[in-house]
Amino acid sequence: NILMAAFAPSVPGWPAAVHPLATGGSAGRRRASVAVVASRASAGRLRMNAAEGGAGAPPVTVSRSGVEVHHFSPAVEALENEGAYAMMARAADIAKSPGPPVVHLEIGQPSYPTPPHITAAAIAALSAGATKYSPPAGIPALRAAIAAHVSSTRGVDVHPEQVVVGPGAKPGLLLALLALVRAPGDVVIIPDPGFPSYAAAVSLAGGVPIRVPVGPAGYDIPALRRAARGEAGRCVAIIVNSPGNPTGCVLGRAACESVAAVAIEADAFVLSDEIYSGLVYEGQPGEAPYTSMLSLPGMAARTVLVDGFSKTFAMTGWRLGYAVCPPYLADRMSLLLVHAVGCTATFVQHAGVAALVGLANGEDAALQGMRADYRRRRDAVVTGLNAIEGVSAAVPGGAFYVWADVSAFSEWGYTAAELASMLLEEGRVAVLPGTDFGPGGEGYLRLSYVGEDDEVLEGVARIKTVLDRLRSAG
């Protein structure tokens, strides 16, 4: 598995737990202040603060006199892996033991190949010599195609100078936060449950992530208002994610308007992560299927819309995404790109043009096929889950996740994390505990339905077997 190999913690000949500063090894690798640390370490007077030799040993060491030695910045030391990667690694381990193949419902990426006209455009661009640096914010043709795409899908007037292309949506989020967090302690509100990279990106940018509960109707607005009023610090941004990961919920217009009102009152930006906007199956009853924060009155001046090609076009590994924001912010993000990545792979950008121009010209049979498959699987998974006693799942309007309420099992003392472990170990089905997405995810499991129909249904059947056994065992 390519992904697993990329995230394998150990490197041959380089024990993962042995930090050069903690051992005093790699002389000359670091100098000056850290040399003190190295020499102390080499004198054997440091102990690791977690099991020594484990691949995940943290980079903090504690001297015998009790002084903590930090080898990285606090935000970097606090980083944790995304739950999906950790679960994939555990599933790979379980797969080595005797038994049927593990069913994967933990992975958040389309299983489809990228549509061939997009791949062909990348190959043609490579052959034509698109192998050099591009302007940092993207080739003009792609910025123009994105501006046209966002204008037509969100019903607003977007200009190419508002568009910043990056290697995925993730960099767009991080770079926007690096620009928007102005002072240490500035608050950025993030959804709970929500995508794990939000908290990490806010902290890396020097801000303080404050989690505010979200439900099927969006943010808990009184809680959002309290957090945005700045008791914990000045609120500089609110992150909105619709359709949402992990819940699949699509926000209605009223929910979006409430967030906009709070942002305007707090004079904060909204970071609108719309990476799943191409995977909306149905909206709130009586409404347009999808409302973008960017389209609301007064919001263009304070919204950073983040979207990309990973989900809609089955292009996760290509690394192509973008941000749309006011031009003065786009200029700053472009400078951040200069220093962080230089630019996004030029031939990949040409593929992005083909994807958007193809879509505009009605070349969307492959996309419609994927959406129809997802929708069918979504309905089957929701029906299957609701047939399990003690489980309930609402029909999500978008993305490719089902958020299953398993809180009934807390009566027998099971947390979401314990249920996920038992499902993997006993049922050989990998799902994510809701708590991977914040404390608000306790009592929930996230299932991703990107696999084939029979695989997804087999996964639900195995969940039923394990949970039925747990319930009857009391």
Separation between Cα atoms, residue 292 and residue 156, nearest integer Å: 10
Kindly state the tokens that stand for 358.
């193809």
CB of 175 vs ligand PMP, minimal distance in Å: 12
Q: Report the residue number, 162 or 316, with the smaller CB distance to ligand PMP.
A: 316
Q: Report the residue number, 168 or 358, with the smaller CB distance to ligand PMP.
A: 168
Q: Report the residue number, 245 or 346, with the smaller CB distance to ligand PMP.
A: 245
Q: Report the residue number, 273 or 436, with the smaller CB distance to ligand PMP.
A: 273
Q: Report the residue number, 41 or 445, with the smaller CB distance to ligand PMP.
A: 445
Nearest residue to ligand PMP, by Cβ distance, number only: 168
Tell me which amino acid residue 257 is.
Answer: E
C-alpha separations of 76 from 80, 263, 330, 468 in Å:
9, 29, 26, 42
CB of 77 vs ligand PMP, minimal distance in Å: 23
CB of 310 vs ligand PMP, minimal distance in Å: 3
Q: CB under 8 Å to 61, separation ≥6 — which residues? A: 22, 37, 41, 46, 47, 48, 49, 68, 69, 71
CB of 470 vs ligand PMP, minimal distance in Å: 29
What percent of the residues of the chain are helix, what percent strand, and what percent coil, each to the nearest 5?
45, 15, 40
CB of 465 vs ligand PMP, minimal distance in Å: 29
- By C-alpha distance, which of 318, 430, 312 is closest to 369? 312
Tell me which amino acid residue 255 is.
Answer: A
DSSP 126-182: HHTT--S---TT--HHHHHHHHHHHHHHHTS---GGGEEEESSHHHHHHHHHHHH--
CB of 166 vs ligand PMP, minimal distance in Å: 9
> For binding to ligand PMP (CB under 6 A), which residues are involved?
108, 168-170, 195, 241, 245, 273, 275, 308, 310, 316, 321
CB of 195 vs ligand PMP, minimal distance in Å: 4
Side-chain half-sphere CA neighbours of 366 within 13 A: 19
Q: Report the residue number, 245 or 334, with the smaller CB distance to ligand PMP.
A: 245
3-state secondary structure of 260: helix
Q: Report the residue number, 38 or 315, with the smaller CB distance to ligand PMP.
A: 315
